[in-house]
Amino acid sequence: MTTSRRKFIKISALGLGGVAATTSAFNMFGSNSYLNEMVKENITKKLKRTPTYCEVCFWKCAGWTYSDNEGNIQKIIGNETDPHCYGRLCPRGTGGVGMYTDEDRLKTPLIRTTINGEETFKEASWEEALDLIASKFKGIKEKYGAESFALLKHGSPGKHLEHLFKAYGSDTIAEPAYAQCRGAREAGFALTYGSWVGSPEPTDIRDTKCLVLIGSHIGENMHNSQVQEMSDAIDNGATIITVDPRFSTAASKSKHWLAIKPATDIALMLAWINVIIEEGIYDKEYVEKYTTGFNELKDHVLNFTPEWAYGITTIKPEVIRKTAREMANAAPAVIIHPGRHVSWYGDDTQRARAMAILNGILGSWGRRGGFYLKESISVPKYPHPKYPHPKWDWRDIGEKYPMAQMGITTEVIRAAIPSADNKYPVKAMMVAGTNITKSIPEKALLEKAMDELEFMVVMDTMPMDVTGYADVVLPECTYLERYDGIRSATNREPSIAVRVPAVKPKYDSKPGWWVAKQIGERLGLGEFFNYNDYEEVIEWQLKQMGTSLEEMNKIGVKHFPRKSGPLYIEEDKKYEFPTASGKVELYSKELKNLGFDPLPNYTKHPEAPQGFYRLNYGRAPMHTFSRTANNPNLNDLKSENDLWVNPKVARIIGLKTGQKVWLRNQDEIISSFSIKVRVTERVRWDSVYMVHGFGHDNKKLSRAFGKGINDTQMVSKTMIDPIMGGTGMRGNFVEILTENPYKTVEI
């Protein structure tokens, strides 16, 4: 993880080498004085600042883009009044400038064509590309109905296209951010508290006395304000308890690191609940006043003792008791963090329920140092005609999963594979801002679905792998070059932020809103796009909210007073949760009625066969998904992932740090590329670990192509959450191959 100093080392070695190198350097000094001036000038140059909010990840921190007169972006700095970043962007936000400067960006629309029997892309004009897309929209609607045109999306561009699709008559919309990421936690907490956790999570970390992280690696995930508040919590002497089979960065900041056996978290939480109830150290008043189903919970956990959990989790009973007591001592200023990417083992809603229940009996929801009562301000909808009502939509596609509250990307993809019982045939797809070939496992299924589609269009800023499957590729300009919707933050107090282009779009790239409008107009939906520039939409909305673009250009972020009441539950006042019972539902009648366990149970999950290791994956602080691997600034910080291997395993197989290996999983899927081994005590002997988002297949990504392994490629087996349709991805096992499996033999 040490920052790359490759060139540094190379050049200082040359310097040592002898006179030649030094002389040539010396010869350059004719211009050095001038260059030095240029550096100084660049540094002190008067720069223009434009408000934006970051699009490198979903945290959407507000900041200022600093650009010079020639239209070069010099730097991006956080907005000090923004509750997402408090003036400090993370490395990805600071390095967001690389999204703009990346010379590998998509530069012009591309259309798939056949030349001499070979499929290839030809460069096209926007007119040509948009006309083709519009004709396909019309054709699909005539032939199958608008519902058969699906949208898979993420982030700001997705919002504009969602509007287009709904106007067109399709709500066959999904994003991997739900079923492949945080959906299970939203379902688990909604079942318990009546509302989603949401983003950013309303965790009152800055005032907490005890932060419990279960597989959540704050610090490696740079969820900015949470990272900052965790730092504040450390300053304030808060106890951090980290449950992770890997010694994460957060584990290194923790008083207690519980090196749990993978896939056994629910057992640990049941034992914690057992201790807290048995020892009578739960928040009796809160439980009495605000919860329902405590007695059922008490009976349920009776036998889930720390001794029972020890055999499952490998966490010693005294450690389970000690940490349970520390949580109770800190309560209600305690947070069992809901996590973010929680699609692990298929019983993820139940794991989230266990977390929600723990928070419930400790009385932390709605309390200082626990979870604050979040609030946001709604942005007025820019007027447009009513959307038509589709005959079926994402709800129908995901009908097997009763608690799915958003489209399930994998189900939408499955719906593209024709079969006799497929009532909801997906025939065309638009993909925007999400590289589904890296975020969706079961590659064979995904490729089959994409193959069956009659038409596929991808919009992105970069030639991500998924663009290779498209019929039309649209180059979107980066967030630094476009207007987007107003960001309304859900936080301690409501606030909004705007994104204003700092520079003109590079190459022939265009903003997402423009693309949506252009397609819409070609479909006769012009009245849904009743503006010439998205600036007009924002200006209108800001006016309704009592401000203006002129003011927002000066402040970037505007705060509004709370209207829903205090930040925490007032002890002497009645408080109702938005559940059926109006209380925190420790025991879930809703789940019971749907035929699921009303209280969470531990289920044993498969373990690695002999010679295999469980594949775990996570984040590096300088990268987002697979989106940033080619970003010149961020690639410079980390250009490939490595395979964390415990020294014991390394000894058995004979591995050394830096050695190249390949992986083969339980279904005999072999990784396309190699990965460098990193022998470290920070990982268990029953699992290996890598950072997600590397191993890019597209050669057009000159820096990222072939660097490291794509963990998602190795996930060919998934465990589906029966409650909300989440895609459990942590049940895959890999062998480590030291010989290149692709080596050709010369005869």
Partner 1 sequence: MRYAMVIDTLKCVGCSDCVVACQTENNVPIGYCRDWITETVNGAYPTIELELKSERCNHCENAPCVRCCPTGASHQLDNGIVLVTGDECIGCGACIESCPYDARFQHPDGYVDKCTFCHHRLEKGQLPSCVSVCPTKCMYFGDLDNPNSEVSRLLKNRKHKTLAPEAGTKPKVYYLI
Cα–Cα distances (Å) from 131 to 489, 515, 523, 547, 710, in that order, read 37, 11, 10, 38, 35
Contact of 673 with 707, CB cutoff 8 Å:
yes
Q: Collapsing DSSP states into helix, strand and coil, what is residue 286?
A: helix
Kindly state the tokens that stand for 59: 């945290």
Residue 625 phi/psi, 5-degree rounding, is 45, -135
Residue ranges in 100-159 that form contacts with partner 1 under rule CB under 8 A: none
Q: Which of 113, 135, 236, 252 binds partner 1 (CB under 8 A)?
A: 252
Cβ closer to partner 1: 4 or 564? Answer: 4
Q: What is d(CA 340, CA 342) in angstroms, rounded to the nearest whole number?
A: 6
Cβ closer to partner 1: 81 or 405? Answer: 81
Cβ closer to partner 1: 22 or 120? Answer: 22
Q: What is d(CA 275, CA 42) in angstroms, rounded to the nearest whole number?
A: 61
Residue ranges in 498-557 that form contacts with partner 1 under rule CB under 8 A: none
Cα–Cα nearest to 391, from 363, 419, 425: 425
> Shortest gap between Cβ of 98 and partner 1 (angstroms)?
8
Cβ closer to partner 1: 273 or 691? Answer: 691
Cβ closer to partner 1: 34 or 746? Answer: 34
Cβ closer to partner 1: 40 or 592? Answer: 40
Q: What is d(CA 393, CA 177) in angstroms, rounded to the nearest whole number?
A: 18
> Shortest gap between Cβ of 18 and partner 1 (angstroms)?
11
Q: Which of 3, 69, 532, 610 binds partner 1 (CB under 8 A)?
A: 3
Residue ranges in 627-656 that form contacts with partner 1 under rule CB under 8 A: 632-634, 636-638, 646-647
Cβ closer to partner 1: 253 or 583? Answer: 253
In 399-467, alpha helices (H): 409-414, 436-439, 443-452
Residue ranges in 324-363 that form contacts with partner 1 under rule CB under 8 A: none
Cβ closer to partner 1: 296 or 636? Answer: 636
Q: What is d(CA 218, CA 229) in angstroms, rounded to the nearest whole number?
A: 10
> Shortest gap between Cβ of 265 and partner 1 (angstroms)?
16
Q: Which of 51, 83, 91, 407 binds partner 1 (CB under 8 A)?
A: 91
| DSSP secondary structure string for all residues of 167-211 | HHT---EE-HHIIIIIHHHHHHHHHHHSS---SS--B-GGG-SEE
Cα–Cα distances (Å) from 59 to 55, 65, 78, 434, 518, in that order, read 8, 17, 13, 16, 29
Residue ranges in 659-698 that form contacts with partner 1 under rule CB under 8 A: 680-685
Please work out the total of residues on this chain that contact partner 1, with binding judged by CB under 8 A: 75
Hey, what amino acid is at 717?
K
Q: Which of 158, 618, 621, 695 binds partner 1 (CB under 8 A)?
A: 621
Q: Which of 51, 95, 169, 556 binds partner 1 (CB under 8 A)?
A: 95
Cα–Cα nearest to 342, from 734, 733, 723: 723
Q: Does 302 bind partner 1 (CB under 8 A)?
A: no
Q: Which of 242, 249, 509, 674 binds partner 1 (CB under 8 A)?
A: 249
Q: Does 490 bind partner 1 (CB under 8 A)?
A: no
Q: What is d(CA 544, CA 564) in angstroms, rounded to the nearest whole number?
A: 20
Contact of 615 with 687, CB cutoff 8 Å:
yes
Q: Does 601 bind partner 1 (CB under 8 A)?
A: no
In 440-588, alpha helices (H): 443-452, 512-522, 534-544, 549-555
Q: What is d(CA 698, CA 705) in angstroms, rounded to the nearest whole number?
A: 6
> Shortest gap between Cβ of 248 and partner 1 (angstroms)?
9
Kindly state the tokens that stand for 484: 């987007």
Applying CB under 8 A, the span of 94-102, 412-420, 693-701, 727-735 interacting with partner 1 comes to 94-102
Cβ closer to partner 1: 61 or 545? Answer: 61
Q: Collapsing DSSP states into helix, strand and coil, what is residue 522?
A: helix
Q: Does 317 bind partner 1 (CB under 8 A)?
A: no
Residue ranges in 29-58 that form contacts with partner 1 under rule CB under 8 A: 29, 31-33, 35-36, 39-40, 42-44
Residue ranges in 180-239 that form contacts with partner 1 under rule CB under 8 A: 219-220, 222, 224, 227-228, 230-232, 234-235
Cβ closer to partner 1: 24 or 113? Answer: 24
> Shortest gap between Cβ of 103 and partner 1 (angstroms)?
12
Q: Does 59 bind partner 1 (CB under 8 A)?
A: no
**How is the beta sheet containing 487-489 ordered, strand by strand?**
487-489, 495-497, 557-559
Cβ closer to partner 1: 78 or 109? Answer: 78
Cβ closer to partner 1: 240 or 354? Answer: 240
Cα–Cα distances (Å) from 260 to 381, 686, 735, in that order, read 47, 11, 22
Q: Does 22 bind partner 1 (CB under 8 A)?
A: yes
> Shortest gap between Cβ of 259 and partner 1 (angstroms)?
4
Residue ranges in 61-80 that form contacts with partner 1 under rule CB under 8 A: 74-78
Q: Does 292 bind partner 1 (CB under 8 A)?
A: no
Helices 306-313 and 317-330: crossing angle in degrees, nearest 10, is 120
Cβ closer to partner 1: 685 or 742? Answer: 685
Applying CB under 8 A, the span of 6-14, 304-312, 384-392, 592-600 interacting with partner 1 comes to 6-14
> Shortest gap between Cβ of 518 and partner 1 (angstroms)?
34
> Shortest gap between Cβ of 342 and partner 1 (angstroms)?
21
Contact of 245 with 261, CB cutoff 8 Å:
yes
> Shortest gap between Cβ of 553 and partner 1 (angstroms)?
22
Residue with tokens 């926007």: 126
Question: Which residues, 6+ apart, have CB-to-CB distance to 573 below 8 Å?
Answer: none
Cβ closer to partner 1: 231 or 672? Answer: 231
> Shortest gap between Cβ of 626 and partner 1 (angstroms)?
19
Beta bridge partners of residue 249, listed in sequence order? none
Q: Does 580 bind partner 1 (CB under 8 A)?
A: no
